[in-house]
Structure 1
Amino acid sequence: RTPAISSRSRAEATPEERKKVERLSKKCLWQALAQNGLVDLVAPAHNRTLRDGVLAETLRPFTAPPVHRIRSYYGEEVAFYFAWMSHFTRWLVLPGASGLIVKLYLDRHVGTETVDTCIYAPLHGLFTFLWAMVALRAWDREQCRLAHGWGTHGAYWQESHRFYDDRPQFRGVDRISPITGKVETYYSSRRKAVKYVGSAVVTSILLSGAFLVMIWSLNLQGYIRPYDDPERWQEVHYHPFHYPFLSRLADEGNLFDAASQYM
């Protein structure tokens, strides 16, 4: 590639500067000019053929960007940006499809169903939550795969964007990583599994308690009232979260009635 050199005019150079350039004539021209302060910037010029080829392939519809060609021409940082955008765009198809199903269901039941009453809306929210965790994990694997392939694993800009750095409280034994060949802190999978199970049990108990309190609160506020919608709930006890002894307190004239003198 032909370097594009911005320099001061020869007429502005002093005789002393010219002598220095002559003494350095055996060196590369831009190195001699830079050493004498005559060069402001040296940058490679674009190769139009390569650039247009990368651009055309990147703009091609329904295809992933050519991250390897982008990396060869623009460098790893730009290539990782396009790799992330491609990964994120592909993964957005899943929550988009889930949201479309909910939207079509609501459109089909206009007047009878809303976002607040649609039974699929909470499932869509749960699916989106799980999708976000899996998508980030998948990107972490893809990022590591590209970094190892390009020889940039451990670069300063990648380390500053890691999602899963070791916590200061992390404990383990030092070993040689079979992947990177470097020393890493290792914690056995068996011991991890035991702690995962214990954490899952404790978390489930706490979440169940919070969920039960929320259901009681909804009953006390009168939000769960099956007899207000007899077409949907044929009998009161069919509603899985209805507690009659609590929901009665929200009836007209009772303690938690919105118009009660006690509220």
Structure 2
Amino acid sequence: MGVEDKPEFELVRPAYYGTLRISPITHLPEIHYHRLNRMYHYLFSFAVTIVLLCGTMFVMVCSFNLQGYMSAKDSLFHVELLHRYSEPGAIFDPLGPYSLVPVIIHSLFIMQCNERYSSVALWLTEKENHR
């Protein structure tokens, strides 16, 4: 065990970039990307992810109001303007023919978000410049 079974050189991702420097350990040239630059990109990735999650949560709250799940008027997420469409006799009445429309729209929205976020996550990972 130990370092005997490790390859002599670590493979570097082809898209990895940085400045050429002499390694303080191996004394060989290596590509170096400064830690502060990477931290900046981590914070940027975090901010983008939070914004996207907030948008998704907003749509989820709207959907739950249209489905009648947010009926407590003192709830933080109760939106009376949307909830009234889920009351008996309204268009999205739980016993009516259109009660599943908010569920279907919510599902389609989540599928679209998942597809788009996958490409955003790939882009953010590239920006973080992992080895």
Match of 1:205 in 2: 51
Query: Could you tell me how far 1:179 is from its partner in structure 2?
Result: 4.5
**Structure 1 residues 220 and 185: alpha-carbon distance in aligned structure 2, compared to 1, 3 A threshold:** same
TM-score (norm 2): 0.60
Aligned to 2:46, the other structure's residue is in SS state helix
Q: How does 1:76-91 map to 2 (within 5 A)?
A: 76=1
Hey, what's the Cα distance between the residues in 1 that align with 2:46 and 2:12? 21
Report the CA distance shift for 1:173/1:262 in structure 2 as closer, same or farther (over 3 A): same
- Aligned AA for 1:244? E
1:220 is the counterpart of 2:56: no
In 2, the alpha carbon distance for the partners of 1:210 and 1:258 equals: 23
Out of 91, 94, 101, the position equivalent to 1:258 is 94
List gaps (5 residues or longer) in structure 2.
100-131
Change (3 A) 1:242 1:213: same
Kindly indicate whether structure 1 or structure 2 has the higher relative contact order, using CA contacts under 8 Å at least 6 residues apart. 2
1-structure distance, mates of 2:32, 2:41: 15
| 2:34 paired residue number | 188
Instruction: Pick the structure with greater CA Rg.
Output: 1
CA distance in 1, matches of 2:58, 2:12: 35
Structure (1 or 2) with the greater helix fraction? 1
Once the two structures are superposed, the pairs formed by residues 1-263 of structure 1 within 5 Å of their partners are 76=1, 150-152=2-4, 154-155=6-7, 166-179=12-25, 181-226=27-72, 236-237=73-74, 239-263=75-99
**Identical counterparts, % of pairs:** 36
SS for the counterpart of 2:50 is helix
Aligned to 1:100: none
Question: TM-score with structure 1 length normalisation?
Answer: 0.32
Offset, 1:182: 4.8
